[in-house]
């Protein structure tokens, strides 16, 4: 697969859509989030999309690596310039999760759910992960970069050994191969729609796909593991927990185990 062909196909599917009007396709890079953060620091406009056919140092949440092989994965990042980025960073991560959920549901006709903050799961297996990162600088508007990695065509042995039980590709779930352009275009279109909707509606729809609310959970945060019940997600996208000892905790950076 060649970057020019992907660019032509994706631009054709987006057909002048605001997200992706500024579109860059890289044959190989370390991380599309690093590329997008760099472009954002030098003024890339809202909706800039950087997609790589191969990443050599893909990053996931909580300092983990995100590994992918050429042809197996969709890996791209979007530069967003919300009006109040620091407040909206937590929200945008949920916007992106909802957009990916909607796009994958529609494209594959399979039922997914969302694990807070924005993993897209089929049953208990991860299909798509999202990494949101913020940029602040003195003389330019701050912005948020949303990086999306979606497992398209991995076979059973295509994932690192430690992920084989917990990751799935669309090909494994559907028995056919998937091209990256239609999935990328579907996610970008949904993201633009979701971002334009009132936040309370977005949060309400997001919650309908999150199966952990009201259930016992184990949460890893700041080097500790907390047991409790996931009470709710607050208006800034943070997780509200009642611990087994009865304390209330609000967490905006954590992982449900």
Q: Which is nearer to ligand BTN, 64 or 215 (CB)?
A: 64
Residue whose C-alpha is closest to residue 213's, from 236, 235, 242: 242
Four-point Cα dihedral 105, 198, 117, 97, nearest 10? 30
Minimum distance from residue 147 beta carbon to ligand BTN (Å): 3
Q: Which is nearer to ligand BTN, 66 or 206 (CB)?
A: 66
Minimum distance from residue 117 beta carbon to ligand BTN (Å): 9
Minimum distance from residue 64 beta carbon to ligand BTN (Å): 6
Q: Which is nearer to ligand BTN, 61 or 95 (CB)?
A: 61
Minimum distance from residue 51 beta carbon to ligand BTN (Å): 9
Q: Using CA of residue 154, residue 157, residue 158, residue 159, what is the dihedral sign?
A: positive
Minimum distance from residue 125 beta carbon to ligand BTN (Å): 13
Q: Which residue shows structure tokens 């991860």?
A: 126
Q: Which is nearer to ligand BTN, 48 or 75 (CB)?
A: 75
Phi then psi dihedrals of residue 205, to 5 deg: -65, -40
Q: Which is nearer to ligand BTN, 171 or 231 (CB)?
A: 171
Phi then psi dihedrals of residue 103, to 5 deg: -65, -45
Q: Which residue is nearest to ligand BTN (CB)?
A: 129
- The helix (H) or strand (E) run that includes residue 26 is strand 23-26
Residue whose C-alpha is closest to residue 52's, from 19, 80, 17, 23: 23
Minimum distance from residue 118 beta carbon to ligand BTN (Å): 8
Q: Which is nearer to ligand BTN, 220 or 247 (CB)?
A: 220
Q: Residue 218: exposed, middle, or buried by beta-carbon count in 10 A (0-12, 13-18, 19+)? A: exposed
SS3 180: helix
Contact residues toward ligand BTN (CB under 6 A) are 31-33, 55, 58-61, 64, 66, 75-77, 119, 129-131, 147-149
Q: Which is nearer to ligand BTN, 64 or 248 (CB)?
A: 64
Contacts of 181 (CB under 8 A, 6+ apart): 6, 9, 10, 13
The number of residues making up the chain comes to: 257
| Structural tokens at position 187 | 């996610």
Tell me the C-alpha distance between 35 and 31, whole Å.
Answer: 6
Minimum distance from residue 48 beta carbon to ligand BTN (Å): 14
């Amino acid at each position: 697969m060649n970057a020019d062909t992907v660019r032509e196909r994706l631009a054709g599917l987006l057909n002048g859509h605001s997200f992706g009007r500024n579109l860059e396709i890289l044959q190989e890079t370390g991380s599309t989030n690093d590329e997008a953060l760099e472009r954002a620091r030098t003024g890339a406009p809202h909706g800039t999309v950087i997609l790589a056919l191969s990443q050599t140092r893909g990053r996931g949440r909580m300092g983990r690596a995100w590994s992918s092989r050429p042809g197996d994965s969709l890996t791209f990042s979007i530069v967003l310039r919300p009006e109040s980025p620091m407040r909206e960073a937590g929200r945008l991560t949920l916007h992106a999760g909802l957009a990916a959920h909607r796009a994958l549901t529609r494209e594959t006709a399979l039922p997914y759910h969302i694990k807070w903050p924005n993993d897209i799961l089929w049953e208990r297996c991860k299909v798509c992960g999202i990494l949101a990162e913020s940029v602040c600088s003195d003389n330019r508007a701050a912005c948020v970069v949303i990086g999306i990695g979606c497992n398209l065509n991995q076979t059973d042995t295509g994932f690192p050994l430690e992920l084989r039980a917990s990751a799935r590709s669309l090909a494994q779930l559907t028995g056919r191969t998937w091209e990256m352009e239609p999935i990328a275009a579907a996610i970008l279109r949904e993201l633009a729609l979701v971002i334009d909707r009132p936040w309370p509606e977005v949060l309400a729809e997001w919650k309908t796909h999150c199966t952990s609310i009201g259930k016992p959970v184990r949460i890893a945060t700041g080097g500790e593991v907390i047991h409790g019940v996931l009470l709710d997600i607050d208006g800034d996208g943070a997780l509200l927990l009642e611990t087994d000892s009865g304390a209330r905790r609000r967490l905006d950076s954590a992982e449900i185990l």
